[in-house]
Amino acid sequence: MKILVTGVAGFIGFHCTLRLLEQGHQVIGFDNLNAYYDVRLKQARLDILNSRTNFDFEFGDLADHKAVSALFERGNFDLVLHLGAQAGVRYSIDNPFAYIDSNVTGTLSVLEACRRTDVRNMIYASSSSVYGANVEQPFSVKDRVDRPVSLYAATKRANELMCESYSRLYQLKLIGLRFFTVYGPWGRPDMAYFKFANLIRSGQPIAVYNHGKMGRDFTFIDDIVDGVCAAVYRISDPDTPAAHKVYNLGNSKPERLMDMISFLERALGEKAELRFLPMQPGDVYETFADISESTAELGYEPKVSLSDGLNRFAQWHAETYWPLFSK
């Protein structure tokens, strides 16, 4: 298939594209390489992808609907994997317009381009953040999700509602994937486990919010890629109806923040200096994915434990990231 991947230089976009290329698909990647975190890391991911003969890269901004439309008109895509977005819960408090431009306007650009060029199949990234202030766990895709605690979460829920309307209006096949705390090699330096690793190696203290009384459903990147590729297979099946469907992709095993720190210390071979702080605005106490529908309909079964995943991350951090990007 010929697949467009937006956000291709991002963490999940990079790993998904690698797998799709290995499976023999032709992939066109689209990204604006913004400076939310170190652009050198994004460029290094892109350099790896550019070495593949079945990959081409297009630089551009999702909010530029004319550029997105032109890309679709010449692309003749079979499927769109829409992973491009402005990430980060806390950053959305300080820079709200970046989230509307990228996540809302950007997704509308892609949906409109799909409609106008008759691209019927699209998979897009949602987030566990849409569950917001919900307290009943595990989080189920059947739960109401109308109490977001950050603008980032609100934009991701807006994406789901936009896709629901476009599927009904134009008979598109759309799958939304609610990712739960994705981590691993080539990850995002703004995420807690990655920031902790950098600070520990630098001999600096780490900030532990809510005094460590938090839990996250940490999901290793390889498991996420398995789920995305299962969604690609499902949406490409001619027997899959033209509808909008949302799935959770998590490990379905929330881990205590303090346990994560202990696993990371062992993986790095260094002890952390902890600085305990109150809860931050926009954060939630715990995430926990109900993956029963993902397992039943996508065959999704996460395999990597947090300790094993952090060991793999720590090895990459020591061998690749720290020597190249720590300065």
| Alpha helices (H) in 61-174, listed in sequence order | 65-75, 91-94, 96-99, 106-117, 151-170
Q: What is the largest CA-CA distance in the chain?
A: 56
Angle formed by the axes of helices 192-202 and 257-268, nearest 10°: 50
Lowest mean pLDDT among 76-85, 169-178, 181-190, 272-281: 272-281
Q: What pLDDT score does 37 carry?
A: 94
CA distance 289 to 25: 30
Q: What pLDDT score does 132 carry?
A: 92
User: Does 212 score more than 90 pLDDT?
Assistant: no
Q: What pLDDT score does 105 carry?
A: 98
Contact 14, 8 (CB under 8 A): yes
Q: What pLDDT score does 277 carry?
A: 84
Q: For the segment 123-152, what is each residue's pLDDT rounded down to a tens digit?
A: 999 999 999 989 899 999 999 999 999 999
| Domain 2-179+221-249+287-303 annotated CATH 3.40.1120.10 | no
Residues forming the active site: 152
Angle formed by the axes of helices 221-236 and 11-22, nearest 10°: 60
Contact 107, 124 (CB under 8 A): yes
Q: What band does 13 get if pLDDT is binned at 50, 70 and 90?
A: very high
CA distance 121 to 232: 9
Percent of the chain that is helix, strand, coil (3-state, to 5):
45, 20, 35
Q: For the segment 281-311, what is each residue's pLDDT rounded down to a tens digit?
A: 767 778 999 999 999 999 999 999 999 999 9
Contact 274, 200 (CB under 8 A): no
pTM strictly above 0.85: yes
